[in-house]
Every structure is written in structure tokens, then in C-alpha cells.
Structure 1
């Protein structure tokens, strides 16, 4: 069975969002999000190394079932990307700089959504980078409104979600593409 994203009417947000340097974006129903327990296992076993070190990553974000329930509590979802050209596939500093810019854009998008909706769930890339040293697990997060859990930490299959929503996962050689999602 072919999966598709259900399109929703969001004309009131489009005017503001088109002013931002978003590469691609799509609105859809949260019921169309693709979840998988395996994504969490990848996080834990051979992921980015953030497992158990941040409030934005597992296990701090809660169980995979609870994360899914949180997402499905919202009616709508919004996914957007940035695509940045880097020198080559080994340009680690280019990746870091691109991620930093993506997170700034995620802050801007979050402000827009928060101006329309009281309670949004914002997910972004590879764990949080707000603080140099996370307070996890001994103290609460210092900046909970700026800390966005990793999309994959919620068990979302970003690669498949992008395909279903007709968003490019790979924007060509020597580019890095980052994704964020907002549930509202």
C-alpha cells in the first residue's frame, strides 16, 4: 500500500514561512507520520553518540510509545529542510556550520508557530546544542523552550517520511540536508 501525506490548509502560516530561508516544507496530518522502534535502537546502539547524554535524546525524551503518543496528540505536522553546500563529504566544519544555521532557522520557525498555537512540539536534528554541557540527568534542562528533541529520538523515520511527503532527503553531492518537524 502506498503511503501519502494528507495535505492541510495552512494559508495563514505560509505568508510568514515563505520569508524564511527554508529549502522545502510540507504540512500534513500527524496520523501520517511514520514511526519505527528500530530508529530508537539505532539511536542507542550506533547513532550519533548522544544517547544518554542530553535531555533532547533517549532515554530522556521518554519511551518510544510515549513519544509517539505525544506526536499523535497533535492533529497536524509540519516538516521543513535546509540544504547547504559543503566543500566535500568530509567537511565536518561545514556540517557543523550548516547544523548551527538550521537550528537558528528552527528557532525562527518555532516563533512563528508559537504565535499561532499555544502548545507545539518541536523536533529537530541530532540532539540539542544550546548548552556546551547538558544538565542531563542530574538537573532539569536550563532552556526547555529552546531545546528541541531529535526527530529520530521520537522514532520518526525521517528518510521515509521525506519520501512520502515528496521532500528531498538528499539534495545532491556536497550538500548536507537537515530536517525539523513541528507538531501543532
Structure 2
């Protein structure tokens, strides 16, 4: 339910687009494309965070649990952050794009928290709010209200969602896109 001022879906898309500097697309969560194969990548620990971050598997839940959690929301707004790279070994620019994307995600979270109830935010990379996740020391999460899961942990198929939203999936060695999604309920949105 919208808090304060009334906003429709198109106004929400416009605001998220302004924050990211790229397109944003709002869909029903019924249109989310899930693929359990992404959980296998997590289990293979490709990023090194499996079992080391509360917002990553196995702590975030099973494939069915995260899917059901996502589907409790009415809408998803899909967005991206794109930047230039020399090639895929250009770690410096990749980190800059990721950092800009995480900054955009923070701004989107603030926007949703100020205007809309029940929001969850997924970003293209592991939760990096803390320099080291409390999971490492078996301590509770220090910022559960700010912690974010990545789209892969939710088994959301980014390439299919980008296609569905009409976004260019840039990963050509010259540019790179990070994707994110905010899931929310909004009784007043039309």
C-alpha cells in the first residue's frame, strides 16, 4: 500500500529510471522467470559466498522457499546499471559499475521505504552492506533491514527477465550490465 502520496506503476517506473539513469520496467510477480539451475551455481560456490553470507544460500532458503517468498509480492520492478569495460579482465571498471549499481539499489530502497510498504530488494551481486558478513562469526545480521539478496540466490533468470522487459542484456566485453529487482505490494498502484 502506498504511503503518503499516490503513485501509479508508471510513476514508480519513472522514479526508478531516474535513479538508475536507465530503463525500469514494472511487471506482475507472476511474470518472474525462475530457474533452479542457478542454485547449482551457488552450491558450486562460484562467487565464494555460499554459506558465508546470510543473504546467500543455504541461509536464504531453498529454491522453493525463495520462489514462494518472491511470489507473495504483487509487483516487481526490474532495473539495470550499465557501464563500459575494456574486457572481462577489467576488474577495476567492473567493480566501479557494481559499486554504482549497489548505490542505485540503496537509493531505490530509500525511495520504496519512504513511499511504499513491503519492499524487498534484490541486487546483481552479494549483499555487501557490511565489509564482512556476521555469518562468518555466527553472529546475527547487523543490518537485517538493509541486507539484500542477489537475483541468483532467488534463482531469477536475469537474461529472460531482461528480454521480457525489453532491456539489452549487455555482456559483450565492451559493456556490462548489472540487474536488480525490487519486489513490492501496492494496493493503490494501477
Structure 1 residue 96 displacement after superposition? 1.0
Instruction: State the partner residue of 2:116.
Output: 117
Instruction: State the partner residue of 1:71.
Output: 70
Q: Which runs of 4+ in 1 moved over 6 A?
A: none
- List runs of 5+ in structure 1 lacking aligned partners: 1-8
Residues 16-43 of structure 1: CA distance to partner in whole angstroms, max 9, x if unpaired? Answer: 3343233221100001101111111111
Q: Does the 8 Å CA contact 2:53/2:59 hold for their aligned counterparts?
A: yes
TM-score (normalised: structure 2) = 0.86
CA–CA separation in structure 2 for the residues paired with 1:90 and 1:50: 21
Q: Does the 8 Å CA contact 2:20/2:80 hold for their aligned counterparts?
A: no
- List runs of 5+ in structure 2 lacking aligned partners: 1-7, 185-190
CA–CA separation in structure 2 for the residues paired with 1:24 and 1:16: 10
Residues 118-162 of structure 1: CA distance to partner in whole angstroms, max 9, x if unpaired? Answer: 211111122111112111161111112222101110111111111
CA–CA separation in structure 1 for the residues paired with 2:32 and 2:60: 18
Question: 3-state DSSP class of the match of 1:20?
Answer: helix
Q: Does the 8 Å CA contact 1:30/1:75 hold for their aligned counterparts?
A: yes
Q: 1:179 to 1:143 in 2, by over 3 A?
A: same
Question: 3-state DSSP class of the match of 1:42?
Answer: helix
Structure 1 residue 59 displacement after superposition? 0.7
What value does the CA root-mean-square deviation take over the aligned residues?
Answer: 1.7
TM-score (normalised: structure 1) = 0.88
Residue 88 of structure 2 is aligned to residue 89 of structure 1: yes
